[in-house]
Each structure stands twice: as structure tokens, then as C-alpha cells.
Chain A
Amino acid sequence: MPSSKAIKSFLPFVIIGVVAALTITIAAILYHAKRMAAVTVSKERTVASQATDSAHMRGSADAPVTLEEFGDFQCPPCGRLAGPLQEIEKDYGTRLRVIFRNFPFAIHEHAREAAYAAEAAGLQGHFWEMHDLLYREQANWSKTKDVQPLFASYAGILGLNLDRFKKDMDSEKVREKIESDQKRGEALGVKNTPTIFINNQSVPPTSLNPTALRAAIDAALREKKGS
């Protein structure tokens, strides 16, 4: 039988172990809750916010299925999903239209500047080209201290008017566009990126993979045919 002194000498280890285990468990639960929390959107909210006039759209305007993405150009999961989304767009052709909304997080150092670059390119009719380029090159510009010259070089690659691009990046119009996208996202309860809506129904974070997205689009197509 261990003496009370022996127990006392073990006690600090037990206390510290318990606190460490509790901290890790609570942090894991909190992280899990944040990542897995499905965005719940009320019917009224989705109906009230269907305006797509100022949105960047790719695909047929008459497509029966609309996939709306809220993305942050510096968010790694958004970058990983960008390629598969393009494949999906190609495969579904005229049956799918894709809308992109900016939702840059302040925690990502260059996310806002990247959004400005995409919008500035959009003012010259090249939003999607810049969108694809930013995601493709995400690993490079994300680590760069000063991204402005890099974004200017992307604009050059896309054949944009550089002076106008730089001016537009600082313009009020571009800022307002991003703020309006963010306001829409906030109204819809967007908290993480990427967040995707298919025909105004939020896609749970667990389904943000090519297979589950295709299944959700197929389901939306069946629903449209049935109605």
C-alpha cells in the first residue's frame, strides 16, 4: 500500500495529466463543432436572397441547378475544392451554373487583396480566369510577403490593362462588391469557407468533396425534374 507521502508525490502528475487531457478534449470538441456545424438556412432567408445580378456566374443562366460558393482565395480547403469544382462544371454542362462570392477571412493575410485582384480582373471581364489562377497559384502567393507585384504579374499573364487593374484594386467599387458578398454570406449564416449552397440549400461541410457534391447536384436535378 503506497504511503500518503508517495501519493502526494504522484498527485501533481495526476493533476497536470488531467488538465492536459481536459484541454485537448475540449479543444478537439470545439474544433469539431466549428468544422462540422452545418449552416442552417431558413426558407425565408434563402428566398429573400436570391439576387444574382451582381454575382460572378459561370455556366448556363437557365441551368436547373445553381451552385453558389462562398470562398476565400487563401483558404486551403477552397483551393483544394477549386479543381474538382471545375471538373463538375464541365461534366454537368448546361445543367449547372456556378456562382462565386467572396468571403475573405481577416485571418488570412492576403485573402482580401486576392479578392480585390479577382474583382479588379472582373471589371475587365476576366474574373473567372483570375479566380482559377489565384486558386492554382495559392501555395505560391500565400507565402509571399508582398503580393501586389505577383497579382500584377497574373494580370499581365491574363492580358489585362495593368494600370487599370492596379487602380481598380484600390477602388471603392471593388471594396463595395466584396462587402456586399460578405453581407450576403453573413445573412445566410456562413461561418467557414468554402460554404456551398445548391439551389439555395446549404451543403454540410462533410459533403464538400467531389462525390458528395455530384450526389447533391443529381438530387437537385431529380427534384427539378419531378416538380
Chain B
Amino acid sequence: MSFKSKSRARESTAIVLRRGTIIVYALAALISLAGLADATYLTVQNLAGETAVCGGSPDCFRVLGSVYSKIAGFPVAAIGTVAYFAVFTFATFAAFGYQRAPTFLAVTVFMMFVATLWFLYVQAFLLHAFCRYCLFSAAITFFLTGLIVATPRRA
């Protein structure tokens, strides 16, 4: 396939978006970068075996060292890193008008929203302790959810 025909094939999967919609997706991509940084930092801390991540906060220590911080031996922070990267990817594609990207983005953000509700419940009612990094991540997910809900799906 020539370069031009490849480009044409890609164009056929793209749709024309309103400027406002593009800005919303671009904003979602930018905000997901903050979540990606937060989750990556926690993943590295976890892999390096360091728990002194909260400036000695015992609550943070309890949350990050709890049984809920891992799923089947896999750090939740690492799953968060993958999730935020997925959001960034789908939001970027959506901003460039790729047809299926908004659906993937909405599904991913919805799953993250449900996971965030669960982790907030765990912190509030099971551990009785809050981790500031987790709260930051929760705020980002809520904001992303708001953006996705408010974004019109079609141009």
C-alpha cells in the first residue's frame, strides 16, 4: 500500500469534530497525564520497596501497605498507570477525530470511575485512612468522568 492510500484509509476512520469537542478531548488527554504521573510514581515506589512516600503519614502508609493495594499480587498503582495511559491514548485519538476512540475512552473512564468508588469505600470504611496520592487520582478520575459525560458524542 502506498503512503497516500494508507493515509486515505486512515482518513476514512476519522470524523470531523467541532472545535469545542476537540478541546474537551485534548483537555482529557492533558489531565490524564497528571494521573499517569501520579500512578507511575506510586508504581515505582512500590517496585523499589519504598513506602516512605507520604512524608511519614501513617494513614498513607496504611493504605499503600494494605492488602487492597494489590490485586492478585499485582500493584494497583501499576494497573492505574496502564489505565491512565489508555485514557491518554483514546483521548488523543478522539481529539484527532478517530471514530471509535470516544467509545473506548468512555468505557475506560467508566471502569476507572467504578474502581475509584471502590477504593474510596475501602479507604473510608475498611481502612479508615486516606492516602493523598489516591485522593488525587480519584479527583482526576471524577474530573475525567465529568468531561466525558458532558462531551457531545457526535459533531
A residues near B, CB below 8 A? 2-3, 5-6, 8-9, 11-12, 15-16, 19-20, 23, 26-27, 30-31, 34-35, 72, 75, 105-109, 191-193
Residues of chain A within 8 A of B146, CB atoms compared: none
Per the bound structure, the CA–CA distance linking A106 and B70 in Å amounts to 13
Contact between B51 and A16 (Cβ–Cβ < 8 Å)? no
Q: Does B119 reach chain A (CB closer than 8 Å)? A: no
Contact between B3 and A2 (Cβ–Cβ < 8 Å)? yes
B residues near A, CB below 8 A? 3-4, 6-7, 10-11, 14, 33, 36, 40-41, 43-52, 61-62, 64-65, 67, 69, 81, 85, 88-89, 92-93, 95-96, 98
Contact between B36 and A31 (Cβ–Cβ < 8 Å)? no
Per the bound structure, the CA–CA distance linking A72 and B52 in Å amounts to 15
Per the bound structure, the CA–CA distance linking A193 and B47 in Å amounts to 12
Q: Which of B41, B65, B88, B96 contacts A105 (CB 8 A)?
A: B65
Q: Which of A11, A30, A106 contacts B61 (CB 8 A)?
A: A106
Number of A-B residue pairs with CB-CB distance less than 8 Å in the complex they form: 78
Known: A30-B41, A191-B52. A15 touches B47 (CB 8 A): no
Contact between B92 and A193 (Cβ–Cβ < 8 Å)? no
Q: Which of B33, B50, B96 contacts A19 (CB 8 A)?
A: B33
Per the bound structure, the CA–CA distance linking A216 and B3 in Å amounts to 61
Residues of chain B within 8 A of A27, CB atoms compared: 40, 43-44
Residues of chain A within 8 A of B41, CB atoms compared: 30
**Interface pairs (9), CB distance under 8 Å:** A16-B88, A19-B36, A23-B36, A27-B44, A34-B48, A35-B48, A105-B50, A106-B65, A107-B64
Residues of chain B within 8 A of A20, CB atoms compared: 85
Contact between B7 and A6 (Cβ–Cβ < 8 Å)? yes
Contact between A109 and B67 (Cβ–Cβ < 8 Å)? yes
